[in-house]
Amino acid sequence: MNQGNEGNNWEKDVLTTIATEGLKEQKSTRRWGIFFKSLTFVYLFALLVMLNPGFQESTTKGEKHTALVDLKGVIAPGAEASADNVITGLRAAFEDPDTAGVILRVNSPGGSPVQSGYIYDEILRLREKYPDTPMYAVISDICASGGYYVASAAEKIYADQASIVGSIGVRMDNFGFVGAMKKLGVERRTLTAGKNKALLDPFGPEDPTVVSHMKGLLKSVHDQFINAVKQGRGDRLKEVAGMFEGLIWTGDQSVEIGLVDELGNSSYVARDVIGEENIIKFTVEPDFLERFSKKIGAQIGTLLLEKELTPQLR
């Protein structure tokens, strides 16, 4: 009996030891799991910081600076270059008592004439409200259509010699599939209340009356654009053929015809024109997750395209 009890105790001791070691191993595994998860989090956070180095800079009280607001991308509601974002940045820049001058750095192919008009009008209002704070537009790669609409409200416009400038015009795109539908045997069935409610329907034939009406609408918006440019640029414009018909020019050509005042970048304007080399950004940035997703998308796109589809100087 004693030998049997001793055998049972030995087995229990072994099982207890195995269970204890198992629990210790599980705890150790959890600790290492937590450690590696934390390490992964730290790595991803560091990666985010590296991918997003341009956090909003804050001003230092009492130090004069040049305020910089970026207008980049398509000008449209909800976009990075929406009127809300650009105007918010401009107001903050002008209202800062330490701002010696404001630069609107433009890199935009244009966009909504309404959004462009909002920004244009606000620039004129801010310039009138703060007459002692100069405001300049600086063009980087492109300042076309609505982008130039906005820039023309500035006191002066600067550009690089290779910048693309102009495209003072209005466009509306449409397609027609009537012929293709006939070949495919597709019948169009559209019900409207109001004979012009389906105007510019790509599945119906062109109506000369509607086309004439839409051309008149485009001309009205075009005239607003031209008047805004002429008001902003004044007698500096040397009107040439095609200036208000959608043509584009390089930066140095634009200086010759008065679309641009001088060649220069943001650093030059801050240092030599405004006189405050210290530049503080007042650009309204997208939220953190949005910036991260855009950066990741851009990185993946670059890898996939291998930069071969983009014209480059080599």
Looking at residue 36, its pLDDT comes to: 56
Q: List active site positions.
A: 145, 197
In a domain, residue 185? The reply is: no
What are the angstrom distances between the C-alpha of 199 and each of 221, 305, 312? 19, 39, 42
Do 50 and 69 fall into the same domain?
A: no
Q: Which residues pair with 263 in a beta bridge?
A: 159
- pTM for this one? 0.73
Looking at residue 241, its pLDDT comes to: 94
Do 13 and 105 fall into the same domain?
A: no
Do 4 and 150 fall into the same domain?
A: no
Do 139 and 279 fall into the same domain?
A: yes
Averaged pLDDT in 10-residue chunks for the chain of 314 residues: 56 66 66 58 51 45 90 95 97 97 97 96 98 98 97 98 95 80 81 82 82 90 95 95 95 97 97 96 76 49 40 35
Q: pLDDT tens digit string along 58-67? A: 445 678 999 9
Looking at residue 28, its pLDDT comes to: 65
Cα atoms found within 13 Å of the Cα of residue 98, Cβ hemisphere only: 14
Domain that holds residue 265: 65-171+232-284
Residue finishing a domain among 32, 55, 78:
55
DSSP symbols for 265-281: -HHHIIIIIIS---EEE
Q: pLDDT tens digit string along 166-185? A: 999 998 887 787 788 788 88
- Domain count of the fold of the chain: 2
Looking at residue 173, its pLDDT comes to: 83
Do 152 and 23 fall into the same domain?
A: no
The residues, any chain, with a CB within 8 Å of residue 185's CB and separated by 6 or more, are none
Rounded-to-integer distance, Cα 251 and Cα 159, Å: 6
Rounded-to-integer distance, Cα 237 and Cα 267, Å: 26
